[in-house]
Amino acid sequence: MNIDSKDILTDNFGRKHTYLRISLTEKCNLRCTYCMPADGIPLTAKKHLMTAEEIYKIATEFVRFGVTKIRLTGGEPMVRKDFPLILEQLASLPVEIGITTNGILADRHIPLLKENKINSITISIDSLQKHKFEKITRRNEFEKVWNTIQKFHKEGFKVKLNIVLIKNFNEDEIIDFINLTKDQDIIVRFIEFMPFDGNQWNMDKLVSLQEILDKVHYNFPLQLKRLTDLPNDTSKNYKIEGYKGSFSIISSVTNPFCDSCNRIRLTADGKLKNCLFSGNEFSILEPFRANKSISSIIQEALLHKFAARGGMDTSEKLKNPELHTKNRSMISIGG
């Protein structure tokens, strides 16, 4: 099949995919309950995972087809010993690079990030209270993560915090998180809890976009300001008038943003996923290792992309646990 390279990343709905999210590993040094199943996950044998060189070469193909932004995620991307090499190689491509990390190992890489012109970082922290942080991550690392956030801010990075909100767990901290934006120019991002294999999701645990906004309205009746979203933003963006930073809500469950989706995902074992919610996977690594062209596989993956949420387009489908188990757990997808 002869495919025009400029069309490879366009799906049946005309959406152009310019943003590649690469999971570097299925491993992690935390055990967040909403991400990692209680019994862990069977780890893929190392020989079936992408090497640093393969990541670079496959990413190069995507850039050739029009990708302009790459995010490194996981698992925890920084647990890979060759993280510096991977980053250096990808930074040589003409793309914007983002990193999502749990912050445990991040501060040691500040010089590396600066050398490679990375000036923003997304760090996950679901609670500002040590005991709750430990409960959700199953690890005693609150101080480390909190200090790292402060370090990155002092070093001049644009810091974004990811917070998965869960009913009766951390929803009472929404205003505490927003108050962090008063004196610090950071972005606090509230994420609706999403269903994946093994994460015990149900709708009752969800704190919705509307519930978050109601709480903020109640506390800041006159100061809540809606900001303009960027064209492919997954978040709805706000700030409190007079505060230095801002906050966002990522409402994949109650208000999905699939119409403007420009994302495609590559798992650590070299499978292409056309949507976070889709169980469909397309192997890239095997044909790549066999010296076959991967362009037709990329195009096939995109032509199978559903209009919304991997086919879970109604709330009934989203609530069906059988559909969650058709997908991987989040830790092995790469959020």
332 contributes a contact to ligand SAM by CB under 6 A = no
Minimum CB separation of residue 333 from ligand SF4 in Å reads: 10
Give the dihedral sign, CA 64/65/68/71: negative
76 contributes a contact to ligand SF4 by CB under 6 A = yes
Q: What's the rounded Cα separation, in Å, for the pair 21 and 275?
A: 11
Characterise 270 by phi-psi region: left (phi > 0), alpha (psi -120 to 50), beta (else).
left
Residue range at the interface with ligand SAM (CB under 6 A); choices 143-151, 186-194, 209-217, 227-235: 186-194
Q: Give the list of residues 6+ apart from residue 292 with CB closer than 8 angstroms, or none.
A: none
> Interaction with ligand SAM in 283-312: which residues (CB under 6 A)?
none
Helix or strand or coil: residue 267? coil
Residue range at the interface with ligand SF4 (CB under 6 A); choices 7-15, 31-39, 143-151, 299-307: 31-39
Q: In terms of Cα–Cα distance, which of 69, 86, 68 is closest to 268?
A: 86
How many residues bind ligand SF4 (CB under 6 A)? The answer is: 12
Nearer residue to ligand SAM within complex by CB, 127 or 299: 127
Helix or strand or coil: residue 203? helix
Q: Give the list of residues 6+ apart from residue 33 with CB closer than 8 angstroms, or none.
A: 136, 138, 199, 200
Minimum CB separation of residue 331 from ligand SF4 in Å reads: 5
Residue range at the interface with ligand SF4 (CB under 6 A); choices 23-31, 112-120, 231-239, 278-286: 23-31
Q: Give the list of residues 6+ apart from residue 28 with CB closer than 8 angstroms, or none.
A: 35, 36, 74, 75, 76, 79, 102, 331
Taking residues 90 to 109 in sequence order and writing x for each that binds ligand SAM by CB under 6 A, - otherwise, the string is ----------xxx-------
For residue 152, the surrounding DSSP H or E stretch is helix 142-154
**Which of ligand SAM, ligand SF4, none does residue 199 bind (CB under 5 to 8 Å by kind)?**
ligand SAM
What residues make contact with ligand SAM under the rule CB under 6 A?
A: 28, 34-35, 73-74, 76, 100-102, 124, 162, 164, 191, 193-194, 196, 199, 330, 335
What residues make contact with ligand SF4 under the rule CB under 6 A?
A: 28, 30-32, 35-36, 74-76, 102, 124, 331
